[in-house]
């Protein structure tokens, strides 16, 4: 079975990216037998909005090093940078010619993001789901780990793949979503109704994996809470505390019930202090490894191997696609 996923290097990943995606990559790597896992840095996806060149370069390297630091093992998976395998964009174009503008305009993320950008919205934002389809179909991925917000994009991937297969003959594996059991959606520490996001202008709302430990702990201590004062998992009436319980449970593996019981009769202060320490310890572990990786020369070796493997698979697929469509001489 082949599984593929990636994260955009739009900033240092947050606790949300870690809990909602990265930790699960490690789980897949360690718990699935016979899995061919490919994890990439989705740098092409990140340029749908203006980016500072130096920042982007730095974030690409940081994300790749963090993949290793959180426990992805190059002996068990392949790590690569999307733009270093040009077949992603090549396939994306062919798929664009088999997708309709109306389909893209209906994508919720496009509607939301383009509403924010107004007249300066770029074409890449509209075609983003097609590039995502190419990321998946290029490798005949059987499963794609997706959060709630990416479900619609995976659906359109299936639609395009089926349309292509019907028109040109069996070419692509139809991917299925891999729904994550512990895929909690982590919310902003300042607004529990807004997803924690690495490009949130309010830095108090998110914790990145490379935040200074004391600052990260303070962000937890200062996270907004509700006025009820009871540590209870209640999405409707206590969304802020519920979000913190989610973080606690995901980082420790402790069940919600057990956490609620532990803090019965205690206020938010003690709960938050413990959570601050849990987050601090997790970040310390990751940052210790990250610093070792950054100092060593392992990263380039890993990314070269990953690129070569991905490229080997991608070239085979692109040749098949060209043949099916009737491109070129062969
Ligand atoms: N708050 C979150 N809780 C749980 N999972 C999350 N993910 C993102 N935010 C949360 C998951 O992380 C993966 C990678 O996301 P991405 O970087 O490709 O894009 P994104 O979803 O747009 O992430 P951000 O942090 O919000 O980035 P920006 O601010 O640049 O848009 C995905 O699997 C996503 O579900």
**3 alpha-carbon distance from chain centroid:** 13
List residues near ligand 1 (CB under 6 A): 7-8, 10, 14, 16-17, 19-21, 42, 147, 149-150, 185-186, 195-199
Which pLDDT band, with edges at 50, 70 and 90, does 116 fall under? confident
Closest listed residue to residue 298, CA positions, set 65, 99, 138, 110: 65
Q: Is the pLDDT of residue 182 over 90?
A: no
Going from the C-alpha of 289 to that of each of 69, 141, 292, 303, the distances in angstroms are 5, 30, 5, 17
Parse the chain into domains and list their residue ranges.
Answer: 2-184+297-325, 203-292
Strand 36-41 with 2-7, pairing: parallel
Q: What is the pTM for the complete model shown?
A: 0.94
Task: State residue 324 phi and psi, 5-degree precision.
Answer: -60, -40
d(CA 200, CA 206): 8
d(CA 250, CA 145): 17
The owner of tokens 């917000």 is 149
In this prediction, residue 181 carries a pLDDT of: 61
Domain 203-292 has CATH 1.20.1250.20: no
d(CA 252, CA 247): 9
In this prediction, residue 109 carries a pLDDT of: 84
Please spell the DSSP secondary structure of 176-223, one letter per residue.
EEEE-TT-PPPBPSS-TTSB--TT-S-GGG--BTTS-HHHHHHHHHTS
The tokens of 52 are what? 């500072």
The count of residues in the chain is 330
The top-level CATH class assigned to 2-184+297-325 is alpha beta
Ligand 1 atom closest to Cα of 195?
1
Which pLDDT band, with edges at 50, 70 and 90, does 144 fall under? very high
Mutating to test ligand 1, I would choose from 5, 6, 7 the residue with most ligand atoms within 8 A of its C-beta, which is 7
Least confident range from 43-57, 88-102, 171-185: namely 171-185
Q: Is the pLDDT of residue 51 over 60?
A: yes
In this prediction, residue 226 carries a pLDDT of: 85
Is 195 a residue of the active site? yes
Does 203-292 match 2-184+297-325 at the fold level? no
Catalytic residue among 27, 61, 76, 113: 113
Nearest CA, atom 34, ligand 1: 147
d(CA 267, CA 310): 51
Geometric angle at alpha carbon 8, from 41 and 29, rounded to 5°: 50
Q: What share of the chain is helix, strand, coil (3-state, %, to 5)?
A: 60, 10, 30
Is 217 a residue of the active site? no
The owner of tokens 């998110």 is 206
């Amino acid at each position: 079975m082949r599984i593929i996923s990636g994260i955009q290097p739009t900033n240092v990943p947050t606790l949300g990216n870690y809990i909602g995606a990265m930790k699960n990559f490690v789980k897949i790597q360690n718990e699935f037998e016979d899995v061919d896992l490919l994890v990439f840095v989705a740098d092409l996806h990140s340029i749908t909005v203006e980016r500072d060149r130096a920042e982007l370069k730095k974030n690409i390297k940081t994300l790749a090093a963090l993949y290793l630091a959180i426990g992805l093992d190059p002996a068990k998976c392949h790590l690569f940078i999307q733009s270093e395998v040009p077949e992603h964009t090549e396939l994306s174009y062919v798929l664009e010619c088999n997708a309709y503008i109306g389909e893209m305009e209906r994508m919720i993320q496009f509607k939301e993001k383009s509403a924010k950008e107004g007249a300066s919205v770029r074409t890449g934002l509209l075609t983003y789901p097609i590039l995502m389809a190419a990321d998946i179909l290029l490798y005949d991925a059987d499963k794609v780990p997706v959060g709630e917000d990416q479900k619609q994009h995976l659906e359109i991937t299936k639609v395009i793949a089926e349309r292509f297969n019907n028109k040109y003959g069996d070419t692509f594996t139809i991917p299925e979503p891999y729904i994550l059991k512990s895929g909690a959606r982590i919310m902003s520490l300042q607004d529990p109704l807004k997803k924690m996001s690495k490009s949130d202008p309010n830095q108090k709302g998110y914790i990145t994996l490379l935040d200074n430990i004391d600052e990260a702990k303070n962000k937890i201590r200062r996270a907004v809470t509700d006025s009820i004062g009871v540590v209870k998992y209640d999405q409707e009436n206590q969304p802020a505390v519920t979000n913190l319980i989610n973080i606690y449970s995901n980082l420790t593996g402790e069940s919600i019930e057990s956490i609620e019981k532990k803090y019965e009769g205690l206020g938010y202060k003690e709960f938050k202090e413990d959570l601050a320490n849990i987050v601090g310890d997790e970040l310390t572990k990751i940052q210790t490894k990250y610093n070792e990786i950054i100092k060593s020369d392992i990263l380039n070796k890993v990314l070269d191997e990953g690129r070569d493997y991905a490229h080997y698979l991608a070239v085979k697929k692109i040749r098949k696609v060209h043949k099916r469509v009737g491109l070129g001489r062969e």
